[in-house]
Structure 1
């Protein structure tokens, strides 16, 4: 079906954008880490830490896409697409660790403020902001289609905000000499990242636990199936996602008397699920009215 071809094209587009973003991020990462230690800025170190996790997240995302390309086999009958979700969950856990580390360091710095070289801090933060804006532009459209890319996009997004915070902190320190602003901005970056990271982790866990995919209303799906001519009832309805944008459905259908052939009912329901709900991988068992479903064989679509 064409849906599979389109999905492959989308993944290929994701891969190209991720490679470009990884090259940009990695090329600046080393300079920002060194600059953080030279200037003594914790806010810049926070931004540098996020830049490092950006690079790691992008690399993991690329590895996940490569693994997901592997075809299904006798041991992995659904293929390796879910590795992408594992990568997204790992990225979320990594972000949590970085955020808590920065919060801890900010608390320590508030107890014993350090001298900050605000000019170098400002220059490095401005360069980091430019790199993040380019990477965000590359990943923004693909982030709505893949949790894996969304994880990388969220890391770049949080790092971009971190760069803005560092720029503001550097300007304040230059004008007032208030070194404590550096720690406050670092803590603010950490608090900003946490709720978005929780959202990413929650979405990833929903996929891993085979929950109903985000954006799918199971009641509407059931009503749609019941509205198909020849369907008298539907039960044992399950909807889950193998990975982002690849939803799966299984259900038992009770065919109405004189509804025509089972294949015709299957065809109508399958077409409805694909066109209205974007679910292309469907397994249906059709039963005749008045008989228990265990007494009949499965018919697949």
Structure 2
């Protein structure tokens, strides 16, 4: 059996991600406390809904922070993969909370639209400005890592939607102050909620696929099998599994039936060629091959275990 893998440790980068997440947590606690008080005093549902969203962000950022710390822990006999999936799980939880919060906001927005109330717009305006500044800073802190890490992307999306929500609340506050259009508070809440669902759905779908061990969308298994089958000494490639463990690792597992009863050193040469092929063309960096000769087993590419 052949097994190849690569390890990339970026402790400094991990520490920087953790620091940025911690700063974002503190900023969101500040925003949440201010908006809850302001929402109660002003009577603004949009401000309270933004506060609820910010509170969900505090929880999601804490989840992301803990996952980021866990991901650095070493593997052990009881946890042979370590906590490498902690960040994927965090992304799934955070995407789920985005959608749940959005549904709650829609319900409240419909109720308030039917019975609009007068709102203290000056407080709404100032607190929305606080939200824009604090969330904007958090967004800038996490933007770089959000492009390459699903967990950081989930935290980034929470904060980005917060900033957009605060902008919407500011616009609503200005309209209420100068035009007394109080129903706009409910309309903006509804719009914020729809935006949350739109942003959360894709991340929820992606993280679910990883947790369910689905084949990554950009990995063409049939093509890979055909290319490996083209090796002169290989008779058949079957029992194939391809899955994504986390952001950095894609695994390929397969049984290979050889035409001749080759030696272990001959198998190693072929294994290295397979590793180079799948890594260079498909970014698969963990390869686990079970070599066989004349074994009586199912020869289908995909076999139900």
Give runs of aligned pairs for residues 155-170 of structure 1, distance below 5 A: 155-170=158-173
Match of 1:240 in 2: 243
The number of aligned residues is 293
Give the Å deviation of 1:279. Answer: 2.0
Inter-CA distance 125–215: structure 2 relative to 1 (3 Å threshold)? farther
Question: Does residue 283 in structure 1 map to residue 291 in structure 2?
Answer: no
Higher RCO (C-alpha under 8 Å, 6+ residues apart): 2
Match of 2:8 among 5, 9, 18: 5
**Cα distance per residue 1:41-73 (max 9 Å; x no partner):** 111112111111111111111111222222222
> Mean Cα displacement is larger for which, 69-78 or 170-179?
69-78
CA distance in 2, matches of 1:7, 1:214: 27
Structure 2 length normalisation: TM-score? 0.86
**Cα distance per residue 1:77-115 (max 9 Å; x no partner):** 222212222222221222222111111111111122111
Give the Å deviation of 1:17. Answer: 2.5
Match of 2:32 among 26, 29, 34: 29
Match of 1:185 in 2: 188
> Mean Cα displacement is larger for which, 158-167 or 83-92?
83-92
Question: Does residue 108 in structure 1 map to residue 98 in structure 2?
Answer: no
Give the Å deviation of 1:253. Answer: 2.3
Match of 2:57 in 1: 54
Inter-CA distance 224–269: structure 2 relative to 1 (3 Å threshold)? same
Gaps of 5+ in 2: 299-305
Inter-CA distance 16–255: structure 2 relative to 1 (3 Å threshold)? farther
Inter-CA distance 34–286: structure 2 relative to 1 (3 Å threshold)? same
Match of 2:268 in 1: 263
Q: Is the 8 A contact 2:31 2:51 kept in 1?
A: no
Match of 1:81 among 70, 81, 84: 84
Question: Does residue 123 in structure 1 map to residue 130 in structure 2?
Answer: no
What RMSD in Å do the two structures reach over aligned CA positions? 2.5
Question: Does residue 135 in structure 1 map to residue 138 in structure 2?
Answer: yes
Gaps of 5+ in 1: 296-301
